[in-house]
Structure 1
Amino acid sequence: MRVPESAAGSYARVPGTAAPPAGARGTLVRYGVEVERGLPLDGAEFAAEVHRVLNDPRGWGHGGVMRFERVAGGPVRFRVALSSPAMTDRMCAPLVTGGELSCGHGDRSVINARRYGEGAASYGADLASYREYLIGHEVGHALGHGHAGCPGRGRRAPVMVQQSKSLYGCRANPWPHPD
């Protein structure tokens, strides 16, 4: 998919809500999803993918720690924002993203739409797993997690390793709690 260098420069909150899975336990975390106006991506599809990743048993809610509810308005703990490369650069400043990287900035997980659409060399052709990693990593920042290092050559990379840049000798891993 071809993602333009820039779009409208403002966000629209994706309408609708998504409840946590039935029977889920843990602290309820309300979040929103935003998409930069003018991007050639379906906001509802992106929001559904974010919700699926956040509530996956391998995700941040693992073991009933948290459960995630997408809301269309009102207060939220964080926002996941799909952004053009130019908007990503602006929203992530002073971090230099070079139109390539994503970031966690305050209460916003800024997802570079070009990366979301094309993936990263570290994941090869596995775009689905890369998208899971990208969402999990940037939301990890919103939940207070910093970057991690590779625990050893050939071992699974923690989700907070900057896997978009390199695997640093580790194996790709999109999940906070892969087991």
Structure 2
Amino acid sequence: MDRVKSDARGDEQRTQYVASSRRSAHGTGRGSPVPPRTGQYRPTATPPQRVGEDRYRPGGRRTSAEPLRASWKPQAESEPDEPRRKPVKRGKFGTFAKTYGWRVYALPILVVITALVVFNTATGPAEPIAQEGRTSAAAESGTGSGPKSGTAVLPENPAKPVNLNIPTAELPKGGDFTQAGKGTFHVVPGSGPKIGQGKLYTYTVEVEDGIDPASYAGDDSFGNAVQGILSDPRSWTFDGKKALQRVDASFPNPTFRVTLTTPETNHRPDVCGYSITYETSCYTESFQRRVVINLARWVRGAIAFGGDMTGYRQYAINHEVGHALGGVHVPCPVNDGPAPVMMQQTLGVADNYVAQLNDLPGGDRNAVPADGKTCKPNAWPSPNP
């Protein structure tokens, strides 16, 4: 029996396997003789199997005798591709940013935007005022008595009551009136034709619930008075650019509502307010676009008009409707001339008196100068059409 030397650890079983292989090739006549060793790889028989670690050496050629299973040494350990990176140390901000992601950067941006909006709101220009007790921030100059198109007119009042010395602003003595109503309103029945040419403005006539009719001669009397004033050619249709038409409750959305209110309702912050402590009327955009006529003034008038109640009522309607059409407050332009209908004649016809309102918060300091001019009362936008 021939013995074969092996570089690996020999054992009896391996020796017997080799001997048996040679006998099969030479002694039995089965198969072909073993070719001479020439250095060329010619697999003619299953090579002997090595036992031990060489059998599973990574990268070695697999033979049919080797089991199909992975090496016991992982590739990462035997042939590392690159050295392991050292973990990056994160500070508190890094950990916070990793946890919340993009929110960390979005939050400061939102804070800055909010601060800018608040700043612009607090420092922006004051809104125009549409109350006889206040001047408008967009007051016209000169003798203009027509509305200024596109002007926003909103009722605003000082945060605290203001004491003013305007003797002509006091409510005159006179007839009785209801001090407080129910705060709700009803539309006075009635409608009328279109008056004037140009852009159409529709209006309803309304009265607060709970008013004693004896103080204003009833709903029909008030409704007819309002319609008659606004249909007069001296009123706001004089320029041929505007048309007015009274509508009833069936009309879904009138341009404005001419509303007779009690003083208590008038004083509400969401209506006219009462910071200057004088009875006034107003126009309020936010309260269903109401032309608010103070019952106290409708019954007693104003000192500047003396006992001319008809003239004062005509002025009150035209002045407040002027705000609904975009008009703003103006001063007396010419001494002893007719006062513009948009001058605050309920408080007086002297610029020195009305100018006191300029110093109120939100007032326009240039709206009415204290120039000593005094006008005569006037009820119409165009006294001489």
Return the TM-score normalized by structure 2: 0.44
Counterparts of 1:130-149 in structure 2 under 5 Å?
130-149=312-331
2:272 touches 2:282 (CA, 8 Å); kept in 1?
no
Q: Does residue 171 of structure 1 match 2:349?
A: no
Q: How many residues align?
A: 177
Matched, 1:10 2:184: yes
Give the Cα separation in 1 of the matches to 2:236 and 2:277: 28
Do the aligned partners of residues 94 and 119 (structure 1) sit closer, same or farther apart at CA in structure 2, a change above 3 Å counting? closer
Alignment of 1:77 onto 2:259: no
Aligned equivalent of 1:48: 224
Q: Which runs of 5+ in 1 are unaligned?
A: none
Instruction: Kindly state the Cα deviation for residue 96 of structure 1 after the two structures are TM-superposed.
Output: 3.0
Is residue 261–residue 295 contact of structure 2 (8 Å, CA) maintained in 1?
Answer: yes
Residue equivalent to 2:132: none
2:83 corresponds to? none
The one-character-per-residue Cα deviations of 1:71-119 (angstroms, maximum 9, x if unpaired) are 1131111111100011111143456363611111112110001101111
Deviations 1:38-83 (A, max 9, x none): 2123122111111111111110010322222111131111111100
SS in 2 for 1:62: coil
**Where does the alignment leave 5 or more consecutive residues of structure 2 unmatched?**
1-174, 351-373
Displacement of 1:33 in angstroms is: 1.1
Please identify which structure carries the higher strand content: 1
Find the aligned partners of 1:51 and 1:166 in 2 and give their Cα distance. Answer: 26
**Are the aligned partners of 1:147 and 1:160 in contact in 2 as well (CA < 8 Å)?**
yes
Which runs of at least 4 in structure 1 moved beyond 4 Å after TM superposition?
none
Identity of aligned residues (%): 38
Q: How far apart are residue 129 of structure 1 and its match?
A: 0.5
Q: How does 1:81-92 map to 2 (within 5 A)?
A: 81-90=259-268, 91-92=270-271
| Alpha-carbon separation, structure 1, partners of 2:303 and 2:181 | 25
Judge conservation of contact 1:85–1:99 (CA < 8 Å) in 2. Answer: no
Letter in 2 for 1:12: H
Between structure 1 and structure 2, the one with the greater Rg is: 2
Q: In the alignment, what sits opposite 1:155? A: 337
Change beyond 3 A, Cα 1:13–1:20: same
2:202 corresponding residue in structure 1:
30
Q: Quick check: 2:266–2:273 contact (8 Å CA) kept in 1?
A: no
* Residue of 257, 275, 279 corresponding to 1:96: 275
Q: Offset at 1:11?
A: 0.8
Deviations 1:98-145 (A, max 9, x none): 361111111211000110111110000110000000000010111111
Cα distance in structure 2, aligned partners of 1:176 and 1:52: 15
The letter of the residue matching 2:180 is: S
Q: CA RMSD in A?
A: 1.6
Write the distance in 2 (CA, Å) between the matches of 1:97 and 1:84. 17
Q: Is the 8 A contact 2:185 2:208 kept in 1?
A: yes
In structure 2, give the amino acid aligned to 1:26: G
Q: 1:110 to 1:93 in 2, by over 3 A?
A: closer
Measure the CA separation in 1 of the matches of 2:243 and 2:276: 30
> Using the alignment, how far apart are the partners of 1:97 and 1:104 within structure 2?
16
Q: Which whole-Å deviations, capped at 9, do the CAs of 1:127-178 have from their partners, x for residues lacking one?
A: 0000000000010111111111110221111000000000111100000111
Partner SS state of residue 17, structure 1: coil
